[in-house]
Amino acid sequence: MSTEFHNLSSYDASSVPDGTGIKIGIVVSEWNSNVTNKLLEGAYETLIKFGVKADDIIVEYVPGSFELTYGTKLLIEKTDVHAVIMLGCVIQGETPHFTYVCQSVTHGATELNLKYDIPVIFGVLTTNTLDQAKARAGGRHGNKGDEAAITALKMVALNAKFS
């Protein structure tokens, strides 16, 4: 969680597992692409930094955040990834649509984590404004994509520990 006291891109590099030999899927929402592309850039660069080969990162796009769960399900069922990162951005508007999308995607990510033996990482920004989203996509609060990539590596390591 990003607060004024914690930056999304702050982490202890020595606590991040090596990504050598790990295959990661990333599903990215095209909606709010000015934000989600920055999230993707952060996740991709962080995975590379910790040893995941470019050829072992599968990136797929879906129209919006609502579709992230289905795109993730496809990557899990049709590829040999060790984890999937869901990247999206939902910004509060004037209607309840925000609430429905956020609840659906959150619930869908939880369901996928419970159904499959592959970690699904929630890298979806749910903000009140575009400025808040930009601050969390490479701005003053860091990049949620970095955080999601580190979480993926840690969860793959945890999964391997118990396999």
- Residue in 82, 97, 107, 141 annotated catalytic: 97
DSSP output for 66-101: GGHHHHHHHHHHHS--SEEEEEEEEE--SSTHHHHH
**Length of the chain, please?**
163
Q: Please state the φ and ψ torsions of residue 81, each to the nearest 5 degrees.
A: -70, 155
Instruction: State yes or no: is 97 an active-site residue.
Output: yes
Residues 85, 24 contacting (CB under 8 angstroms) = yes
**Residues labelled as active-site residues:** 97
